[in-house]
Amino acid sequence: MALLLRKRLILIETESSYGTDPTPDGADAVLVRDLNITPQQSDVVSRDLIRPYLGASEQLLANTRVECTFSVELAGSGTAGTAPQYGKALQACGLSETVAAGTSVTYAPVSASFGSVTIHYNIDGVRHKVTGCRGTFVINTNVGEIPTIDFTFTGIYNAPDDSALPSVTYANQATPLVFKNGNTDTFSLLSYSGSLQSAVFDVGNTLVYRELIGASKEVLMTDRASNGTVVLEAVTIAITSALRSRIAPWAT
């Protein structure tokens, strides 16, 4: 019987030891959208043999890894001082997590001791275990839409297996608010309070999958080049010039 693509889920759990599956369960389920997986992504090495007849050469596979992409709604856990369910994913994207009990949870970029997660991606009873996952993300906001965090993870390939869909509990993901006037009170860019249409922030992590002889397979985070775009309502030349003068010191 054909698998039902509609029956999918993703479990995410932090690894205490890099590349070791912590065996996530239904309590580790994350509510996502746009969930996709490339279950086997490899570099192709051609033998390029010279022979006295026509025909392609055999191709061999190297550096086999897995890529998983998904989006979460940009909303907190619903409880002050409780991390959102996708907080583990943020930490595997080179961020630290600081919890102030009953008050707040904040995330900040780090440049060492990067976290990692194991992802269990299940499609109607076929499970893909992706260990040693590290990733990057883009925050997307546009007026009249639900703001999202769009994740891209790279991890170590493990052979898929048959495993029934577990019973899941979705928690610590509040119902999101539409990005619009009223839900977002104020906006300013370099002290300029304009009328905002959309904003995009790309954390810009550089990920390298590495397999060295005598070493463990690993996804390395080698750099970060964050960038973004903001779309504002058109204004007069005078206001634009003033805004440019504020941006100039940041560009040097």
Residue 95: how many CB atoms within 10 A of its CB? 20
Q: Which of 19, 224, 10 is nearest to 127 (CA)?
A: 10
Res 250: pLDDT: 52
Res 247: pLDDT: 63
Res 29: pLDDT: 97
* Per-residue tens of pLDDT for the chain, all 252 residues: 578 888 999 999 999 999 999 999 999 999 999 999 999 999 899 999 999 999 998 999 899 999 999 999 999 999 999 999 999 999 999 999 999 999 999 999 999 999 999 999 999 999 999 999 999 999 999 999 999 999 999 999 999 999 999 999 999 999 999 999 999 888 887 777 888 999 999 999 999 999 999 989 999 999 999 999 999 888 777 777 766 676 655 554
Res 28: pLDDT: 97
Q: Which of 100, 65, 69 is nearest to 82 (CA)?
A: 100
Res 249: pLDDT: 58
Res 10: pLDDT: 97
Taking the C-alpha atoms of residue 228 and residue 221, their distance in angstroms, rounded to an integer, is 20
Res 248: pLDDT: 58
In 102-175, the DSSP E strands lie at 104-109, 117-123, 126-142, 148-156, 161-162
Q: In the numeric block, which tokens belong to residue 68?
A: 């998983």
